[in-house]
Amino acid sequence: MSHKDMTIYEHIGELRKRLVMTVVFLFCAMILSFFLAEPLIVYLQGADEAKELTMNAFRLTDPVKIYMQFAFIIAFVMTSPVILYQFWAFISPGLYEKERKVTLSYIPVSVILFIGGVAFSYFILFPFVVDFMTRIADRLDINQVIGINEYFQFLFQLTIPFGILFQLPVVIMFLTRLGIVTPMFLSSIRKYAYFVLLVIAAFITPPELLSHMMVTVPLLLLYELSIFISRFSYKKVLEAEELQAREMETK
């Protein structure tokens, strides 16, 4: 049954089924993540940028808070392919057969881009920022007392947004396929998009020019890549529409 043939109650029932399946997978992933959180925290504490720092818990609940945050993030990352698939399954009846196959391939690409964004931020940006901060403290002869909660919150602040922002090409490709955006529109709002990305980079990074540029430049390149991908996707949409028009004429 297509979406056009479904009533509003059937739509709600379908959405409810997708949400229930997602929650079940998230619950199972959460149980597994409790066993993965501890070795990941230990690994991150032993990384080069954290070896020279002494982690302190300023509140009794800090270790538990960090443990639960890691468990939830791990579970969410593990469940993300399921979430994307359920979203795709919900909207796929409204797509053409070729569009279903193409959009389904977005799921592994999206997961890879998220992991790539987090990896870029953690292995390139984060060590630079930590080194910069510690050098400033040494020059000012300030003895830093690092709270484990503050350290990992700062880590999350840098890495998680980057993983989300790296989804931009996939999102643009998807919206172009649906006809919501076009490459012409993306090009026309380029200067406004650049400004928004500059503001986002300012929120992610500390108030320091070099680290700000290290975030801004990849984001601008991602936007330009998104425009290029949108042109390719838009061309495919036009070809599909032309082919459909020809088929209608032959009938």
Question: Could you read off the pLDDT of 154-165 as tens digits, one per residue?
Answer: 888 888 888 888
pTM for the model stands at: 0.78
Predicted pLDDT of residue 27: 92
What DSSP designation does 54 have?
Answer: -
Question: Could you read off the pLDDT of 46-61 as tens digits, one per residue?
Answer: 776 666 677 788 888 8
Predicted pLDDT of residue 98: 67
- Report DSSP letters for 120-150, one per residue: HIIIIIHHHHHHHHHHHHHHTT----EEHHH
Structure tokens at 226: 């998104």
Which residues of 21-110 form beta strands (DSSP E)? 55-56
Asked if residue 118 lies in contact with residue 73, where contact means CB atoms within 8 angstroms, the answer is: no
In this prediction, residue 32 has a pLDDT band, given cuts at 50, 70 and 90, of very high
What is the distance between the alpha carbons of residues 67 and 186, in angstroms, rounded to a whole number?
41
Asked if residue 114 lies in contact with residue 163, where contact means CB atoms within 8 angstroms, the answer is: yes
In this prediction, residue 31 has a pLDDT band, given cuts at 50, 70 and 90, of very high
Question: Could you read off the pLDDT of 208-217 as tens digits, one per residue?
Answer: 777 778 888 8
Query: Higher confidence at residue 76 or residue 102?
Result: 76
Q: Quick one: which of 151, 119, 117 has its CA closest to 134?
A: 151
Question: Could you read off the pLDDT of 235-249 as tens digits, one per residue?
Answer: 877 777 777 777 667
Predicted pLDDT of residue 51: 63
> Token match 């050098």: residue?
135
